[in-house]
A and B are shown apart, each in its own frame.
Chain A
Amino acid sequence: MIKRLLVITVICLGFSVLQSTLFIQILPFGFVPDFSLIFLLAFSWHYGSLLGSIAGFIVGLHVDFLSLAPMGFHSLLFTITGYLYGRLQDNIAPDIALLPMLAALIAAALKYGGAVLLDLVFALNLGMAEAFSLTTLWEILADILVAPLVFFLSRYVWQLIDAKKGGF
């Protein structure tokens, strides 16, 4: 369990750092997918809601540190996302490309909808009413497009973690 959480934390931290440094420089028009969120979806879907919510909290917390977000902002959103996608574990398998795309779309809606709600409830003054802009649409589109690839690649990562676990 700790190894799985460690792997997802390292992957998501790596992607968060790359999103904030390399990707925003080389990708045009804010077309930067939220790789850490999509990896979190894939992880939660594969390992269930218990690990999903723990991973969501950890990943969210380090995104809070990297951005100017109020502490607890992303951790709350990602914990809920991790839990909800973990519930899908025994019900639906993310086999076809359409499901990861749909998952990314719903996760982005959860993220932005949740952000507006938190802004209102905690009076954070984040200007979320104006957050739904062209950049937001680009990000959601980018999330949808890369989701099948991330889900596909994540399978190998999970195989690697689980194979090593059983091999020794």
Chain B
Amino acid sequence: MGERDGIRSEAVLAVFLFFSVLLLLFNGTLKSQGARRNMGHMFQGVQRVAGVGSSYVKNGFGSIKRLREMRVQYEAALERLGKYQGLERNLVELRRQNSELKKILGLSAEIPYEHIPARIIGGDPSNLFSTITIDQGLMDGIGAGMAVCAFQDGFFGLLGKVVTVSAHSAQVRPILDPDHFVAGRLQKSRFEGLINGKGDDEGHLIMRYVRKSAGDSVGINELVVTSGMHSIYPPGIFIGRVAQIQTYEYATSIELVLVPVIDTGKTEYVFVLKEQETSL
């Protein structure tokens, strides 16, 4: 009996390993057929509901923290105003949200491209990947391959691109991902290169295939923008700043390590750029 169970479990293991390897081998084909997208709709729907719920819980946690700080400073006053605490808390949160939304609305008007604003509602369930989930989907006009941007510290920067879309949410592959490539151009010296995520903990990017002759004219902190060449990204969107220049004797090009202008960890709201007809 025990031996039979052992054989059965090993057979099951072999079958599932075989299936997993098949999935890995035909990953690209599955993606192109949209099978993954269709299956992912259900899970992303659940994730969207949880994302909306979790933002309420997060706000609750934030309120508790603020309440604690206020208690220390205004203990006596808070005793008298106890019954207004909940109201006040909501008011502060609403004001914060209001000013944030006003700011986003103002910034949104500045974007020269047709866009859809969205909120980040989720990340990756494990630390191995850098998935971002947003709360807008197919029904809101989002499509796979659309560029995703955000405002941070005065820069309108590239955050990533939409990979899979469900009815009311979408998954974004950020530029930090080593498997995400963007055609970039140095803003001042105008040299071109190909940018992808370095995959390190600091979230650096790496710009490859920059001409060796650029070595002298590229400076630290020089900005890099999208080149718009054969790319889904419109030209002129900020990507990052040069942090390090790597030159190798044997190579015909140089590599630049970039710090992205958008820190995905601090980003709450994004703008999905609608696909547009290229005029050039």
Contacts and interface: CB of A to CB of B under 8 A. Distances in A.
A70 B24 CA distance: 6
By DSSP majority rule, is chain A's interface helix, strand, loop, or mixed?
A: helix
Interface in A126-165: 126-131, 133-136, 139
Interface stretch (B15-23, B70-78, B104-112, B144-152): B15-23
Contacts of A111: 126, 128
Contacts of B215: none
Contact of A80 (B17, B24, B27, B126): B17
A53 to B, nearest CB: 5
B252 to A, nearest CB: 22
By DSSP majority rule, is chain B's interface helix, strand, loop, or mixed?
A: helix
B13 A71 contact: no
Interface in A70-90: 70-76, 79-80, 83, 86, 90
B131 A26 contact: no
Contacts of B263: none
A127 B178 contact: yes
A63 B125 contact: yes
B241 interface: no
Given A118-B24, A135-B201, A139-B127, A65 B40 contact: yes
B23 A71 contact: yes
Contacts of A131: 127-128, 199
A50 B8 CA distance: 7
Interface in B29-58: 30-31, 36, 39-40, 43-44, 46-47, 50-51, 53-55, 57-58
A67 B131 contact: yes
B122 to A, nearest CB: 4
Contacts of B163: 68
> In the complex, which range does the number of interface residues on chain A fall in?
35 or more
Contacts of A68: 124, 129-131, 163, 171, 173, 177
Given A36-B125, A68-B171, A60 B133 contact: no
Nearest to A25: B58
Interface residues of B, number: 58
B125 A66 contact: yes
A79 to B, nearest CB: 4
B197 interface: yes
Contacts of A76: 17, 20-21, 24
Given A56-B16, A68-B130, A86-B9, A127 B23 contact: no
A42 to B, nearest CB: 18
Contacts of B53: 21-22
Nearest to A64: B23
B123 A24 contact: yes
Nearest to B14: A53
Interface in A95-146: 111-112, 115, 118, 122, 124-131, 133-136, 139
A86 B13 CA distance: 11
Nearest to B11: A50
Contact of A73 (B9, B22, B24, B57): B24
B121 interface: yes
A149 B20 CA distance: 31
B25 interface: yes
Contact of B201 (A19, A72, A126, A134): A134
The 6 residue pairs across chains A and B that have the minimum distance between CB atoms: A127-B199, A72-B23, A133-B201, A127-B178, A76-B20, A22-B54
